[in-house]
A and B are shown apart, each in its own frame.
Chain A
Amino acid sequence: MIEISNLHKSYKTGSNYLHVLKGIDFSVKEGELVAIMGSSGSGKSTLLNILGMLDEADEGSYVLDGVPIKNLNEKIAAKYRNKFLGFIFQSFNLISYKNAMDNVALPLYYQKVGRRERDERAMHYLEKVGLADWADHLPNQLSGGQKQRVAIARALASDPKVLLADEPTGALDTKTSYEVMDLIQGINEEGRTILVVTHEPDIAQMTKRIVNLKDGRIIDDTLVDQVKALSHV
């Protein structure tokens, strides 16, 4: 599903270059649930941004579902993001003046899906995350866990190949974190490929594979025995 090799990325800070990714080789097969771990500054977020086509690598190749991702203009990148990827952010990033259903329907809006079908599909995913009754609530009327579940529903709405979650539980308490991870595990069980960036070991243990990053290099890549989040709730 994801094939990257020899990925480099550096940032210019003032007069120095900060070499963040120093040659990453990495692949993810369909249906995997991967945790990307590392301390802050290890380059895990940069990697995720490049995977998410929000940022571009300086060097190296990236193939997503057989499509080489290279030299994209913003228009095509936007199209690919919409078609291939679903994003889950630490701070949820819901649009504050749209209700839950409209937030979930937004990726479909950019796909130019008709209003009725859009609402139906949005509703379907809201049901899936257990928030059908909250469809017309604004984000500030929802709890943190609910917000993240709306965000997950939104990420699923366009039926993407890969879900990219950047510290999805970073802003949540432990109990809510596990509920969210339970949801993510359930989605993975249905066969969806998911990458989770986290620095919390217990969250990482709930995935199927942990990739450890340090100073821009992969130092460790192991399959783990998945801990079911439900057992903690």
Chain B
Amino acid sequence: MFNRDRWNEIIQALTANKLRTFLTAFGVFWGILILVLLLALTNGLRTGVTMEFANQATNTMFMWGQSTSMPYKGLNKGRRVQFKIADVGVLKEKMPQLKYVSPRLQLGGYNGSNNVTRQEKTGAFQVYGDYPEFINQRYMDILKGRWLNYSDIQKEMKNAVIGTDVVKQLYDIGEEPIGTYIQIQGVNFKVVGVFENPNTQGNNEEEANTIFIPFSSFARAFNSGDNVGWMAITAYDEYSITDIKPAVFAIMREQRTVHPDDQRAIGNFDLAERLAKLTGLFSVLSLVGYVVGALVLLSGGIGISNIMLIVVKERTNEIGVRRALGATPWTIKKQILQESLVLTIISGLAGIAVAAGVIWLMNYLLDQSGPVENFANPTVNIVVIGIALVILIIAGLLAGFIPASRATQMKPVDALRTE
């Protein structure tokens, strides 16, 4: 279809009026540039926001006890629901879909701070009692030493894994924290590991401001008995935590003697649901990007169509001559369509190339200036480029279609008579 002669014909026709060809091409160039950039920015936003979720298992919910809102089995309403360590075993046994059920304890209230001292230095940190599985729900890089293990739990070892900020505040530069002791509310714990959050974005400061100690040691040292503060529950990938959480609540209500219809007794934060909402939001944003970009591209296409109409009109006589010399109507149409297509595709490819350059520049500047909240790594994948090209080809064909059919509407004799 595309032999050398046809190319020559097209190039001859397009270069006959270079400025006009350039201006026409610019419309499509601009359209595709906007389309690709919009999608890239949407992607950057999406990457930036979902990165917050990247350092945790997302098929996860957090669950805690609140106050009952219904009387049940002789118990008054307004009673505080307190999870117990035995509930964890029951949940795991009754719900094999659950991958991890980590009971957690926290010193003080939520977001409370505690005094931790080491020799003369003190600091306010968050202290959690945890099981070893928790690292699979909230990812951490162990920089030195090790993470908590079951031996720590069974032997109620007074070991601690501390964040990098803790090290900064309690230790001199170059001092080795592993093997040293820190006092948490007067109880001595031995530092066995230092962790950092893999994702250096958002609220990592707060994360690194944390001390993890074995759950059992926490209970013993701070007298929480068999209480559980709250639970971090992750389901296997095949099951959605959002789908199975009602069953989890039902078990917990039974365990804690709560009325089966009492919706308020157990609170939860569903990470999976939150992420799904965000994903939905970004799908909508992408769609908006596509629609706006396609519309801008459409106006470029209309520009091409417009110019091709003028070109066809200007070349009425030439088309008449060509038909007198033996060009069939389809040959003429094909030529117009191909001119329009070539113009569209070349300007579109230029647009994509420039967009790629702009995206590269954005990434370069982001790299230089450090992370920006909620925005990272704007990219457009090859599939999107493919879609943009398909849109371009369709636009080119549509743009050429009306002029092409107009070109052969006239009888050759009338076309020849036109000057």
Contact = CB atoms under 8 A, between A and B. Distances in A.
Does A associate with B in a complex? Answer: yes
Contacts of B246: none
B413 interface: yes
Chain A, interface residues (CB within 8 Å), range: 20 to 34
Interface in A54-101: 54-55, 74-75, 78-79, 81-83, 87, 89, 91, 93, 95-98
Chain B, interface residues (CB within 8 Å), range: 20 to 34
Contact of A81 (B13, B324, B329, B419): B324
A49 B413 CA distance: 7
Residue of B326, B327, B413 most packed against chain A (CB within 10 A): B326
A52 B326 CA distance: 11
B411 interface: yes
Contacts of B323: 54, 74, 78, 81
A98 B329 CA distance: 21
Given A54-B411, A93-B321, A115-B4, A107 B326 contact: yes
Contact of B330 (A75, A89, A109, A158): A75
A97 B325 contact: no
Interface string B216-230: 000000000000000
A55 B417 CA distance: 12
A110 B13 contact: no
Contacts, number: 70
Given A89-B416, A93-B321, A79 B326 contact: yes
A154 interface: yes
A74 B5 contact: no
A74 B318 contact: no
A15 B83 CA distance: 97
Given A54-B411, A75-B330, A81 B325 contact: yes
Nearest to A93: B321
Contacts of B321: 89, 93, 95
Contacts of A154: 325
B381 to A, nearest CB: 41
A154 B322 CA distance: 11
B4 A110 contact: no
A106 interface: yes
B173 interface: no
A95 B416 CA distance: 12
A75 B413 contact: no
Given A49-B413, A98-B12, A109-B5, A54 B324 contact: yes
A106 B322 contact: yes
B39 to A, nearest CB: 39
B117 interface: no
A143 interface: no
Contact of B318 (A49, A75, A79, A95): A95
Interface in B322-343: 322-331
Contact of B326 (A93, A95, A110): A110
A78 B329 contact: yes
B382 interface: no
Interface string A95-126: 11110000000110111000100000000000
B317 A93 contact: yes
Contacts of B5: 109, 115
A54 B13 contact: no
Contacts of B16: 96-97
Contacts of A75: 328-330
Interface in A36-57: 49, 52, 54-55
B123 interface: no
Contacts of A79: 326, 328
Nearest to B4: A115
A170 B413 CA distance: 18
A97 B330 CA distance: 22
A52 B324 contact: yes
Contacts of A52: 324
B303 interface: no
Contacts of A111: 326
Interface string B1-37: 0001100000011011000000000000000000000
Contacts of B12: 97-98
A49 to B, nearest CB: 5
A51 to B, nearest CB: 12
Contacts of B325: 81-82, 87, 106-107, 110, 154, 158
Contacts of B416: 54, 89, 93
Contacts of B419: 91
Nearest to A98: B12
25 contacts: A49-B413, A52-B324, A54-B324, A54-B416, A55-B412, A55-B413, A74-B323, A78-B323, A78-B329, A79-B326, A81-B324, A81-B325, A87-B324, A93-B317, A93-B324, A93-B416, A95-B321, A96-B16, A97-B15, A98-B12, A106-B322, A110-B328, A111-B326, A115-B4, A115-B5
Q: Which 3 A-B pairs have the closest CB atoms?
A: A82-B326, A110-B326, A54-B413
